[in-house]
Amino acid sequence: MAETGHISVLAAEVLAGLAPKPGGTYVDATFGAGGHCRALLDALDGSGRVLALDRDPDAIIRGEALQKVYPDQLTILHAPFADLGQALTSWGVERVDGILFDLGVSSFQLDQPGRGFSFRFDGPLDMRMDHSRQSGCQTAADLVNTLNDRELADLFFRFGEESRSRKIARAITMDRKKTPFTTTAQLAQLAERVIPNRKRGIHPATKIFQALRIAVNGELDQLQQGLEAAMTALAVGGVLVVISFHSLEDRIVKQSFRMASTQPRVTGPAALLPQTQAAPLPFRQLTRKPIIPTQAEQARNSRSRSAKMRIIQRVAPADQSTVAGGGVL
């Protein structure tokens, strides 16, 4: 049965990871439906503050009800998490005690046919996260109808890890000569025709839709920028909790956390020199392996099945630590 309500993924694990303390300052960088944010505010019990961000204006509207419940504790801003640094400046805060990223698409977005995120409904082939600020940006339909077959194949392979990307791209460029793609149903039906035997019950359009959504919204670049801004903003002892939903996201999170928490390896002639005192590592990973939902949670919420949560903690002041590449965190 299709799920229509939003259920916060790994809710208990998120609270355990953030470990909210009285009077603490926290950021929910992906407000979405507000489930994690409400749980965090409840845990603070009136003694801390939370800044919530979302690039989707519909999420900001949904957040107005929660803001009325916590008028002195909750601030909600319409902004992508890549702009976290600017958001904190406007909030008047430099360092925070915890930040949460819950990546991907919310159930509200998936369940609204007009947003074009899901192949389960027929709607416009749009996929823009922020339909107000991205009004002049390309939609998924624009990409499908204008990119050549090589560009489409590269997009599907890079952002969807789709092994049949070339076959799908060729079919798209042939079909659009007769009728341009304007709806999600058109693209989903093409995928069903071109890839009829997808294993494990995965819809053949899944990876195509993922790739287009990532491309339309620049999600991977946004994530890289957001992680850098978040780690810069953490106070000593502060933690960053990230929930990802596919391998491309998790790979970026894993690599970013590893670079920030691992001493660079000395190679070449420098390895023969006497060892000097290394600068303190700026961060410590609290999850060597990602936390995943329990079987019980996966049974309750099928959309949680691909979730992976990683946590990193700042352990050295910003002025004493650097990351690979020379960037000060």
Type of residue found at 244? S
What integer is the mean pLDDT of 92-98?
97
**Is residue 266 pLDDT above 60, yes or no?**
no
Tell me, what's the pLDDT at 108? 75
Nearest to 18 by CA among 313, 244, 316, 270: 313
Please check whether residues 103 and 229 belong to one and the same domain. Answer: yes
In contact, 291 and 309? CB cutoff 8 Å = yes
Mean pLDDT score across all residues of the chain: 89
**Residue span of the structural domain in which 26 resides:** 11-108+219-320
Nearest to 173 by CA among 146, 196, 194, 154: 146
Please check whether residues 168 and 257 belong to one and the same domain. Answer: no
Has residue 312 been placed in a domain?
Answer: yes
212 Cβ partners below 8 Å, 6+ apart? 127, 140, 143, 144, 155, 159
Question: How many domains does the chain contain in total?
Answer: 2
Helix (H) or strand (E) holding 178: none
Q: Which of 199, 217, 235 is the last residue of a domain?
A: 217
What are the backbone dihedrals phi and psi of residue 325, each rounded to the nearest 5 degrees, phi first?
95, -5
DSSP codes of every residue in 37-94: HHHHHHHHTTS-EEEEEES-HHHHHHHHHHHHHSTTTEEEEE--GGGHHHHHHHHT-S
Please check whether residues 101 and 117 belong to one and the same domain. Answer: no
Helix (H) or strand (E) holding 243: strand 234-244
Q: How confident is residue 322, by pLDDT bands cut at 50, 70 and 90?
A: very low
CATH of the domain at 271: 3.40.50.150
Nearest to 33 by CA among 71, 2, 76: 76
Tell me, what's the pLDDT at 244? 97
What token pair was written down for 193?
């025709």
**Is residue 5 pLDDT above 80, yes or no?**
no
Please check whether residues 139 and 209 belong to one and the same domain. Answer: yes
Please check whether residues 180 and 266 belong to one and the same domain. Answer: no
Give pTM, 2 decimals.
0.89
Q: Which of 189, 217, 245 is the last residue of a domain?
A: 217
- The more confidently predicted of residues 131 and 189 is 189
Please check whether residues 68 and 159 belong to one and the same domain. Answer: no
CA dihedral 79, 85, 88, 93 (to 10 degrees): 170
Please check whether residues 27 and 90 belong to one and the same domain. Answer: yes
Helix (H) or strand (E) holding 262: none
CATH of the domain at 139: 1.10.150.170
Has residue 299 been placed in a domain?
Answer: yes
